[in-house]
Every structure is written in structure tokens, then in C-alpha cells.
Amino acid sequence: MIDTTLHLAPVTVRVRAPFGAVRQHLETFYPEAMQAPGRTKRFIDFDIRIERGTGWRRWLRPQARFLLDHVEPFLPLPANQAAPLFEWGLNWCLASRPLGYLVMHAAVVARDGDALVMPGSPGAGKSTLCAALTFIDGWRLLSDELAILAPACGTLQPTPRPISLKNESIEIVSRFPGATLGPRYTDTRKGTISHAAPPSASRAAAEHQARCRWVVFPRFAAESAPCCEEIGRAEAFARIAEQSFNRDRMGETGFRALCDMLDKARCFDIVFDSTETALALVRDVTGQ
Amino acid sequence: MTSAACKRLVSILKTPTQATQLDLSEWSQLVAGARSANLAGLLAERIAAAGITVPAEATRHLEALRQLSRRQTQSVRWEVHGLQRALSQLGIPVVLLKGAAYAVSDHPVGRGRLFGDIDILVPRNALGDVELRLMVAGWTSAKASPYDQRYYRTWMHELPPMVNVRRGTVLDVHHTILPLTSRHSPDAETIIRAASALPDLPAVRIPRPEHLLIHSIVHLLHEGELHNGLRDLFDIDGLLRTGASEADFWPRVVDASRTLDVVAPVAFGLHLAAHLLDSPIPPHVLADMRNAAGGPASRLLTMLYTTAIRPENEAAESPAATLARFAIYVRAHWLRMPPHLLLRHLAHKSIVRLKKDEPAVEGRA
């Protein structure tokens, strides 16, 4: 049984789980967080438990259940997916518990304080490109899934957690310099998935916020010619808003925050058929 | 309300300045407890009004909840404007109940409150037309099974819940305030007739303050599920404090509970608010209600509610609370329908559950 308190910018999370795989996952991907003193007086933002399924399921078809406080927001998964369940569940917590942030489905990387936001529908190649920018071009990882915008200061909050890789992208990313992957989980509802550890420099800079300078909508299309097109902020607004988890709940505050973010950014559509092309396009766009 | 954490939540809601004593992990527990009792928005409002210093870690949650409550209030008002448009041609009064009434009338109880479903009360003879108009406006019935449809339509005080196909908002259309099969049979006409109009919403009505209070009490005591029990109790406290600003409020409460045939539940509800929250109810009102109800409040029932009403995160871990909640659930069903119907209903529910292999707590409001 593990019972630990992790400080993951921008939240503090208590995790309780009887699964060895969850302990191993935390030790691999959150080493600093695990070393922090545990039982100090801290404010817990999310009280998370991963529990075993109850009743006959405990023996015949072992399950892992995710609980936030005493709420079970989704259906249990097979017990061997307890670690990915923690990651998915934590994303859900960040996206749904009101903390005053506008939370969008996007990968975010940065150089110094300048952030590149890549919103993306599943399958657009967002995570692979995010990993390539992080491991090959040396961008700092803020998040591969969640753009967390603080309306008061207009900055993006890093939450450097493992990059979640699916199917073909696992092989590709495992060849990137400095990429360390965790176990592979087969037969999840997203296919085979694996996690890549964020570089330690990204973790060390978890308290350094960044300002959005570029928004890039990536799209992977096999055997297509590379293409980069600047788009208007209104169009970018509509498309990012669609990818936002809590835009409706954030009301006017969220609307204004997103407008402000885009006022200071240039927005692009890019189409690519390989990691190298995608990196070249991003270098052009950002001048980096 | 027997645990230390729950007592602290209640006492800080009543006297927010006590929160200055808390250390960081106590703040953490306070916010978690308030959230699971669905009272975090109220806590945020009261803490903000008291102007005390709050650690940044807690402020972030509290401010986000206040913002969410304001946003939900705005959404509820917007939905009510839609209901006005959908139903105005029928020429009937559309009475808002509970959260929607507080949001639209800017009632103090609505401040910091989070909203679930929208509840309206319409004259029973207009029910068919109302349902049709709502369907045209994009609301569809959320309960698909023929049994559920019949359960609501023949036995209950409301249509099966309706869901807006575009927004997912849930609307409960009531024609009275208690199930038709219930031991008490309040005449909703008196609530509809006495309700007051709103300047910019000609079809929409807000119930009289005494009716808001009585409905809130009856709802808490007949619902049978106490997930929001503590929140409902604070609603009751807020409703009676605000109502008492009218000089003849208390005589009206006593009268209306007689007219509506709900003397016993109202007497017990007021007793509970006085007992658990020290709500300011004049002693002679409590005495009058006690006499009208035919005796003092049951000590067993008081004990059950005292044990059962607490935040969800604690209730789940307390066998006593679980037991008390089960007893209250059974009692509420007992009040809801006569024994032969109850038996039939529970038998049907458990067979359906067995077939689906679903937990019993699934699908709660």
C-alpha cells in the first residue's frame, strides 16, 4: 500500500493505492515529488485513491477504480492498467475541479518564458511532436495534454508529467535521444500506451510559468507535402475553445483569458508527414 | 453531524471568523468537507464576506467556486428566459422552485450556491401542453424505460426529468410538491396562486417566502436521499432568516403548513434546523407547530437525521451514517407510497438492478 503526498505544480496530490505498479510509476516519473517529506502540514488539492474492485471482481477479473475524495468519476479499468488510470484520472481532476484556471486540451512547450501551444484532436500527432520538440530540439515541457491558463496573470502553468504515447508513436519516441519510457500497457481503450519521462530540466522548472507566443495546430497526414499557413486569431479562438474542458464553466473570465492569450500570439496550421518535417516547420514558425 | 470535522464546517459557516485559527491541513479538510457537502460555494461567500485572511492554497479553490456559482446563476437565468419563451403562449403561471427560484429572484440563499436541475411547478391540467411545448423547445424525456415513465406519470409529483438535447440541462416539471401516492396531499394551487410575478418574465413566478421554506423542508424530509442534506439544511436556515424580515412571516408559515397538509414534516424540519444549526425560530412558533403536529419531534428520527446529515466524504466511511441513511431512505419511501405499491416498486427496482449488475447508489440526483 502506498500513501504519499506529491507536489506536482500547480497542485498537491495525495495518492493512496495498493498496486505495486502505481508505486513504481510514481518512483519512475515523479522522483523529486516522491522524495519530498510526506507528512507535513500541506493543503491537499486532490485526494486520490486507486482501489481494487469489490466483490467477486476482486478475484475473477481484478479491477482498478479511481476515486477523487469519495467520487468515482469513471468506470473501473482492468487492474493491470492502474498506473495509466492514475494519469488519466489526474488529467480529469485538473480539467474538472474548479481551481480558477482555463484548461484546454493542448501540448505546451516553452523556451525561456515563451510558450508554444499545440491544441489537437486525438490522432493529430500532438504528443509525438511534443516529445520531439522536448527531446530533439530541447524545448522545455510544460505538458503534453493540458494547457492550464491562469486568467489573472495570463500565463500558462507547467505541469511536467509523463508524456502519454499511443501505438506507433511509442516506437518513434523510444528512439529519441534521452527519452526513457516506462512499461507498455496493451489493450487499453486507446490501444497500446506507454509513458515517456519528462527531462529533469523541465521538472526542475515546474514553477516557471510561460506566456503563449505561438499557437500551432499540428496535423499528421501520411505522404502529404509539408504545409504551414498562418491563421486568424478568431479562427484559432473558435478551434481552441472547442478543445477547452471548462470554457463553459469559466464563463466570461475564461472568454477574456483566452482572448488575452491570443492577442499576444501568432497562430498557424501545420501539416507534416514525418517528425523531421514537423520540427522544421516549427523552427520556421518560432524562429528558434 | 456527529464528527468533529462536520461540526467545524458548520460552526465556521455560522461564524466564519473562527477560520483564522486553522492551519494549512485543517483548511484542506475544511474545503474538502465543504465541497463534498456541496457547501463550498457558501463557505467561499461567507469567508469572503468576513474579510479574513485565507492561505493562497485555499483561496484558489474558494474563489473558483464563487466564480462557478456566479456562472451557474447566470446560466439558470438564461434557461429561465428560454422557458418564458417556450411556455408564455400557454398563458399559465410557471412557478420556479428551489435553486432556480433563488437564482432568478436574487435570493440571498442563492449566493455561492451550486445548481443542479431546474425545477418548475405548473398547474396539473396544463401538464400535457407544457410537456409538448418543452419538447418543441428541445427538451426530451430522460427516462426511457416504460416502467420509469409510468412510475413518474401515475405516482409521482413530476414528469420524468427532461433533458435539453443541446445543453444537457435537466428540467424537472412538477405539478405538486409531493408524490401523488404520498401520505400528505398538499394542494399546489395555493402555492401557484400566491406566487409573485417578475418584472421582465411575465409567465414566471416566484413562490411566497413561506412556500419556499415549506417546500425546502418537505423536499429534505421526503426525498430519502441525503447527499445534499447539510446543504438543504443551510438553505432552510437561509430561507427562514430572510423570510423573517417580513413581519407576518411566521404566522404565514404556520398557516401555510396547515393549508398544505404538511404540518408534521414542517414541524420536524423546523425542529431539526433549530436543533442542528441553531436557526433563529421563535420558541412560540416551535411550540405551536409541535402542538399542531400532535406532539414533540420523535427522538429516534432526530437521532437518525443528526447521524445521517454530514458531508459525503465522511458519510461513506461511517457505518452509523450509512445505517441512518438507509433507515431514512426506507422511511421516505414509506411516506411516498402505500405498502403494496412500495413493495412492487422496490421489487421491480432490484430485479432491474440485478439484470444490469449495477450498484444501488447509481444514478442519484
For residue range B30-67, what is the model confidence (pLDDT) as tens digits? 999 999 999 999 999 999 999 999 999 999 999 999 99
pLDDT at B145: 81
pLDDT at B211: 96
Query: Is A98 in CB contact (< 8 Å) with chain B?
Result: yes
Q: Minimal CA–CA distance to A136: which of A161, A107, A109?
A: A109
Residues of chain A found within 8 Å of residue B55, distances taken between Cβ atoms:
43
Check: CB of residue B246 under 8 Å from CB of residue B350.
no
Whether A73 has its CB under 8 Å from any CB of chain B: the answer is: no
The confidence score (pLDDT) of residue B208 equals: 96
CATH number of B4-307: 3.30.460.40
Contact residues, B window 54-113, toward A, CB-based 8 Å cutoff:
55, 57-58, 60-61, 63-65, 67-68, 70-71, 74
Residue A122 touches chain B, beta carbons under 8 Å: no
Interchain contact, B64 vs A251, CB within 8 Å: no
Residue that is written with C-alpha cell 456541496 in the block: B38
**Using CA atoms, how far apart are residues A3 and A59, in angstroms rounded to an integer?**
23
A274 touches chain B (CB under 8 A): no
Helix (H) or strand (E) holding B174: strand B170-174
* CB-based contact B64 A99, cutoff 8 Å: yes
Weakest-pLDDT range from B159-168, B257-266, B330-339: B330-339
Q: Which residues of A fall within a CB distance of 8 Å from B23?
A: 41
- Nearest chain A Cα distance for residue B40, angstroms: 11
8 A C-beta contact, residue A271 and residue A219: yes
Q: Where are the domains of chain A?
A: 1-97, 100-288
B57: which chain A residues are within 8 Å (Cβ-Cβ)? 12, 43, 45
The H or E element that residue B335 is part of is helix B319-336
What does the pLDDT read at residue B190? Answer: 93
- Weakest-pLDDT range from A43-47, A266-270, B177-181, B283-287: B177-181
Condensed to tens digits (0 to 9), the pLDDT of residues A103-132 reads 999 999 999 999 999 998 777 888 999 999
Q: Nearest CA of chain B to the CA of A52: how many Å?
A: 16
Q: What is the mean pLDDT of residues B228-242?
A: 95
Of A235, A210, A214, nearest to A148 by C-alpha is A210
Minimal CA separation from A72 to chain B, in Å: 11
What's chain B's average pLDDT? 88
Question: Sorting pLDDT into bands at 50, 70 and 90, what band is B361?
Answer: very low
pLDDT in tens, A123-159: 788 899 999 999 999 999 999 999 999 999 999 999 9
Q: Where are the domains of chain B?
A: 4-307
- pLDDT at residue B359, rounded to an integer: 46
